[in-house]
Amino acid sequence: MTKKLENKVAFVTGAAMGNGLGAATVLARHGAIVNLVDVNPLVSDSAEKLRGEGLLAESHIGDVTDIESIRAVAKKIVEKYGKIDILVNNAGVANIIPFLELSDEIRDRMFDINIKGVWNCSKAILPYMIENHYGKIVNMSSVTGTTVVDPGETAYGTTKAAIWGFTKALAIEVAKQNITVNAICPGYILTPMVQGSARETDPANPQRVIDGIAAGIPMERLGTTEELGDLVAFLSSDESRYITGTQIVIDGGSTLPESGSMGHH
């Protein structure tokens, strides 16, 4: 049986760990040739691990805030494979800091990575998709800023809501070129980002924080990066060919409760 992403070339940002690595793993299991792009040199170990599973994976150092570094990586991939079919704009950072204490530097870093990063990678890679009359762009938004928020998320929430606007605006421009652009809004997925903020909240017992989050989710657990990856694979495949400009929530029901105190990321 042919796999649903066989011969597809994917470009996944922030793929050294967490959601990006989960997405890259599932895309590769569906047969895609996956290019893992990250500023963190650990990305080469992550690609190596996937190759150890017999999957097609390569790593590249690239900074989404630096369009030239992304253009260079994209060019290298296209020279080798002739195209890029799938772009997963996943790289992102979160700092939870009250508005009046949040420095402009930290705000700008979040805006640069989370918003301009999506912008830069789309700008660098879209021309290849147009040339090929085929493309799937998947942008990592969040339930944070689009549906729910906790205190300290003015900058992060702003960036994740911006991705909705960008997703729709780009989707309409490229629809007739057979390119779909969609956004994913995860609730809590267990990644190094979430583990890091649990450690910040309770250095002595971060697991208590994770358990507390799980207790507030109707499905009583955080999501896994591979569950997130399954949704990325759907939006990256022809199964979703008539879906564009939309956003899909994946949160184990965490945004459902009408009452009760719950936190989100």
Ligand X SMILES: NC(=O)c1ccc[n+]([C@@H]2O[C@H](COP(=O)([O-])OP(=O)(O)OC[C@H]3O[C@@H](n4cnc5c(N)ncnc54)[C@H](O)[C@@H]3O)[C@@H](O)[C@H]2O)c1
Binding residues vs ligand X (CB under 6 A) = 13-14, 16-20, 38-40, 63-65, 90-94, 113, 117, 140, 142, 186, 188-189, 191-194, 265
Q: Report the helix count and the strand count for the chain, using DSSP H and E.
A: 9, 7
Residue among 81, 128, 134, 156 flagged as catalytic:
156
Nearest CA to 142 among 88, 189, 76? 189
Instruction: Tell the smallest beta-carbon distance from residue 191 to ligand X (Å).
Output: 3
Pick the closer one to ligand X by CB: 140 or 209.
140
**Is the CB of residue 15 less than 8 Å from the CB of residue 37?**
yes
Instruction: Tell the smallest beta-carbon distance from residue 60 to ligand X (Å).
Output: 10
**Is the CB of residue 248 less than 8 Å from the CB of residue 235?**
yes
Rounded CA gap, 8 and 31, in Å?
8
**Active site annotation includes 156:** yes
Instruction: Tell the smallest beta-carbon distance from residue 207 to ligand X (Å).
Output: 16
Task: Give first-to-last CA distance, the chain, whole Å.
Answer: 39
The arrangement of strands across the sheet holding 9-13 comes to 57-61, 33-38, 9-13, 86-89, 135-140, 179-186, 247-250
Instruction: Tell the smallest beta-carbon distance from residue 2 to ligand X (Å).
Output: 30
Pick the closer one to ligand X by CB: 10 or 17.
17
Pick the closer one to ligand X by CB: 134 or 149.
149
Write out the catalytic residue numbers. 156
